[in-house]
Amino acid sequence: MRRVVCPGSFDPVHKGHLEIIMRAAGLFDEVVVAVSTNPAKQYRFPEEVRLEMIGESLSGISGVTVQPMGHGLLAEYCKRIGADAIIKGLRGSTDYSFETPMAAMNRHLTGVETVFLHGEGPYQHVSSTLIKEVASLGGDVSSFVPKAVLQRL
Ligand code: PNS
């Protein structure tokens, strides 16, 4: 049984995230979408709403579960739930530069591997930050977020 963790704050989840989660579900027996909340960060949506939006967007997809990550290290969380790997989507070189030191650190901490999927196609430029900014100024983000998010934005 191969379990992988797809971590993030998902504030809010968008179609780029969902594409990576679906592709991960094709590679692993179980994908745990782990929703992080950092007390030092300000979120647009509270944790329970972020969990709800992902749950609604992925309902009926077998092999995918959604959980709060709780506080502490991602590497320790993976160890605790028996995950073999962390999965991340990479949109480009900026993501690569940001993610690779974390992958090395996580491997150093508990041995957990990180698997990167290349984020292709129509969601390459999409981020939660951009979605929030465009939506707050009245722009149309309906192509980039699931219904569960659009109705709450
Ligand atoms: O969606 P985000 O906010 O970019 O997600 C970042 C996340 C949750 C992957 C990252 O903040 C994280 O790993 N947090 C847990 C704390 C931790 O393990 N820090 C050390 C990383 S090497």
Q: pLDDT 10s digit of each residue in the chain, 153 long?
A: 899 999 999 999 999 999 999 999 999 999 999 999 998 999 999 999 999 999 999 998 999 999 999 989 999 999 999 999 999 999 889 999 999 999 999 999 999 999 999 988 899 899 999 999 999 999 999 999 999 999 999
Active-site residue, selected from the candidate residues 14, 17, 50, 88: 17
Whole-angstrom distance, CA of residue 120 vs CA of residue 95: 13
Residue nearest to atom 1 of ligand 1 (CA): 8
Q: What is the pLDDT of residue 121?
A: 85
Alpha-carbon distances of 2 from 28, 43, 83, 109, rounded to whole Å: 5, 31, 7, 20
79 is catalytic: no
Active-site residue, selected from the candidate residues 23, 44, 91, 132: 91
Whole-angstrom distance, CA of residue 15 vs CA of residue 133: 16
Q: Is 113 left (phi over 0), alpha (psi -120 to 50) or beta?
A: beta
How many Å lie between the centroid of ligand 1 and the Cα of residue 72? 9
142 is catalytic: no
- CA-72 nearest atom, ligand 1: 16
Please work out whether the CB of residue 81 comes within 6 Å of at least one atom of ligand 1.
no
How many Å lie between the centroid of ligand 1 and the Cα of residue 144? 23
Please work out whether the CB of residue 7 comes within 6 Å of at least one atom of ligand 1.
yes
pTM: 0.95
62 is catalytic: no
